[in-house]
Amino acid sequence: MQRKCVFLDRDGVLNRERGDYTYTLEDFEVLPGVPEALALLKQNGYLLIVVTNQGGIAKGLYTRADVMACHQKLQESCGHLIDAIYYAPSHPQYSESLSRKPDSLMLERSMARYNIDTSQSWMVGDSHRDLEAAEKVGVRSIIVGDKYAPSSYTWQVLDLREAAQLILREEAK
């Protein structure tokens, strides 16, 4: 049986976007409403999968262990509701990778592993590259925040809480 999923970008969607790399526990701040939004999606049968670029690893700014510590804090802050976290440690200046968004290999790997139905799944991100990755695999997308002016994207909302409500409204149609 295929499953429905919400793919989630990390920085700017789940935790505060600092405009720089977020890799210390002190700087890693889960945004208000995120645990509740994740719980709502989970209660409605969605898998929750994080897909995040972590190019600072390739740049030597931080380590995989730093990323894992932040992901552990994220899971603890959100009641361990996240089913999987995929991250791309590459950066175009140092190493090419099809995992790094806007490419879609992180999504493709999770889709194969978890038997995900793209027609019932969503990507919630805060940048064009998140939405491009979703488009490559045929998943509907929502952009959060006001970093971009409203455009041809179907949905733009303030935060993950609004995104979760939108997903559930669309599902009910």
Give the separation between CA 42 and CA 46, rounded to whole angstroms: 5
Active site residue 11: yes
Q: Which residues contact 127 (CB under 8 A, 6 or more apart)?
A: 9, 12, 143, 147, 148
Name the residue range of residue 138's domain. 5-172
Catalytic residue, candidates 11, 66, 103, 126: 11
Distances 7 to 23, 96, 108, 135, 139 between C-alpha atoms, Å: 21, 22, 11, 12, 9
DSSP character at residue 98: S
Q: How many structural domains is the chain composed of?
A: 1
- The predicted-structure confidence for 28-76, as pLDDT tens digits, reads as follows 999 999 999 999 999 999 999 999 999 999 999 999 999 999 999 999 9
Catalytic residue, candidates 9, 103, 126, 159: 9
Q: Which residues contact 116 (CB under 8 A, 6 or more apart)?
A: 2, 3, 4, 5, 47, 110
- The predicted-structure confidence for 94-125, as pLDDT tens digits, reads as follows 777 878 899 999 999 999 999 999 999 999 99
pTM of this prediction? 0.94
CATH code, domain with 134: 3.40.50.1000
